[in-house]
Amino acid sequence: MNDDLTVPELQRRLAEFAAARNWQPFHTPKNLASALSVEAGELLEIFQWLTPEQAGAVMTDAGTAHRVRDEVADVLAYLLQLCTVLEVDPLRALAEKIERNESRFPAA
């Protein structure tokens, strides 16, 4: 695995993966947002009945840690695909949101 991956590189790989399977007709903003929500729900499901202490230690169990990483990957994949379709730069969007939040919620 390449440790120097960039967001655009990951987006390119996801687009190529979808194109090779002719999935682009299904990758509409609505479908991608729906899939993103479903995957976020699957991530949440891992934590659903855990105490705060158990949730904090979730990565100590190899099987559960693997599930968490897989669901995080699924959430990120759908988010990046949605950003590609909508032509949103996710890093710029996040940076701009952080700046707005810094103004809205100044540190004491």
Rounded to whole angstroms, the Cα distance separating 82 from 38 reads 14
Q: Would you state the structure tokens that stand for residue 88, as one six-digit string? A: 């949103």
Q: What are the pLDDT digits (tens) for 78-103?
A: 999 999 999 999 999 999 999 999 99
pLDDT tier for residue 1 given thresholds of 50, 70 and 90: low
Q: What are the pLDDT digits (tens) for 8-35?
A: 999 999 999 999 999 999 999 999 999 9
Domains assigned to the chain:
7-100 (1.10.287.1080)
Q: Any residues with CB less than 8 A from the CB of 43 and at least 6 apart, and which? A: 68, 71, 72, 74, 75
Beta-carbon-side half-sphere exposure of residue 36 (alpha carbons within 13 Å): 15
What single-letter amino acid sits at 20?
A: A
pTM reported for the whole predicted model: 0.91
